[in-house]
Amino acid sequence: MQSLKDKVAIITGGNSGIGKATARLFAEEGATVVITGRRQDVVDGAVREIGRGAIGICGDVASIDFHHRLAAEVRERFGAIDVYMANAGVINLAASETVSEAEYDQHFAVNARGVFFGVQTIAPHIRDGGNIIVTSSLAGTKVLPNHTVYAGTKAALAAFARNWAIEFKPRRIRVNILSPGPVETEILGKLGVSESNRPQFEQQMADLIPAGRLGRPEELAQAALFLASAGTFVNGIELHVDGGMCVA
Ligand code: NAP
């Protein structure tokens, strides 16, 4: 029995990493998935890879117009949706003293504002009894070197999600937070760590994780599937999927 049979799910940042692995798993479980990202060619490639009627819609989550366009397209095609996963995110590691206004604004525009207005715009199109997953980060609760601004954005969206769990009570829409630790995705190449220092950086991360390794996108996808389907009595939680790094 497919756990998301006949459901419609939107996954922002579904063209890469955790979002793409989740889109693939949701599609295998019977959902029609709508994935987003800014890079048209990467969105198109992911749509082909996921198959099963997946749809790609390109745009920048920092733009409120994009969320309105996405909502309109999805309403026209499907009428309503069942699962919204606000997952797109950016990170650039930097010590606070070196962070520029532009870097600060970009992090908050994508990771916090993008999630807030995405949910505000899409929520009216979520069927009563549906659910929302926001991808936060271990960095939102645990202090990690040079993560300050990123950590602030992720703590903000986790706070939004807890409030939404109550605000959406009349519509029985569950809202949960998925909090990855370090996971092997493209994002590791966008941290501002040089290619030559990457192996050492990743080994240092792995050494901090009781599991002794980084996570795999598929492991996050399984957790997202639980929140989206079987976890029918799970609401307002932050699910840490980090090999135990949150307690290390
Ligand atoms: P990823 O492979 O780099 O994916 C990031 C996704 O976000 C891409 O699909 C990217 O697509 C999209 N994106 C970035 N900026 C966007 C924007 N302005 N508008 C629309 N889409 C945008 O990284 P990932 O690891 O899967 O990251 C997914 C989420 O997990 C992020 O929120 C990240 O903060 C969180 N996370 C990841 C880790 C980790 O270690 N991997 C740990 C903790 C939390 P385009 O580039 O095509 O726009």
* pLDDT (tens digit per residue) in 227-236: 999 999 999 9
pLDDT at 1: 87
Q: Please spell the DSSP secondary structure of 77-88, one letter per residue.
A: HHS-EEEEEE--
CATH number at residue 148: 3.40.50.720
- The answer to whether the CB of 240 falls within 8 A of the CB of 246 is yes
Residue 102 lies in a domain: yes
Q: Which strand (E) or helix (H) includes residue 37?
A: strand 32-37
For residue 122, report the distance from its CA to the centre of ligand 1, in Å.
19
- What is the pLDDT of the chain when averaged over all its residues? 97
- The whole-number average pLDDT for the span 175-198 is 93
Residue of 156, 141, 129 whose CA lies nearest to 235: 129
pLDDT band of 193, cuts 50, 70, 90: confident
| CB distance 35 to ligand 1 below 6 Å | no
CA distances from 145 to 123, 183, 218 (A): 35, 17, 26
CA atoms within 13 A on the CB side of 6: 2
Residue 70 lies in a domain: yes
| CB distance 56 to ligand 1 below 6 Å | no
Number of domains forming the structure of the chain: 1
Whole-number Å distance between alpha carbons of 216 and 219? 5
Range of lowest pLDDT (13-17, 72-76, 77-81, 186-190): 186-190
For residue 1, report the distance from its CA to the centre of ligand 1, in Å.
30
48: three-class secondary structure by DSSP: helix
Tokens of 176: 């949960």
Range of lowest pLDDT (44-48, 122-126, 128-132, 201-205): 201-205
pLDDT band of 192, cuts 50, 70, 90: confident
Residue 135 lies in a domain: yes
Could you tell me which residue, 58 or 201, shows the higher pLDDT?
A: 58
In the chain, which residue ranges form alpha helices assigned H by DSSP? 17-28, 40-50, 64-78, 101-107, 114-122, 148-167, 198-207, 217-228
pLDDT at 18: 98
Residue 105 lies in a domain: yes
Residue 35 lies in a domain: yes
Residue 16 lies in a domain: yes
Give nearest CA residue, ligand 1 atom 8: 13
Residue 2 lies in a domain: no
- The whole-number average pLDDT for the span 96-112 is 98
For residue 89, report the distance from its CA to the centre of ligand 1, in Å.
4
Give nearest CA residue, ligand 1 atom 48: 38
pLDDT band of 136, cuts 50, 70, 90: very high
Q: What is the residue range of 128's domain?
A: 8-247
pLDDT band of 50, cuts 50, 70, 90: very high
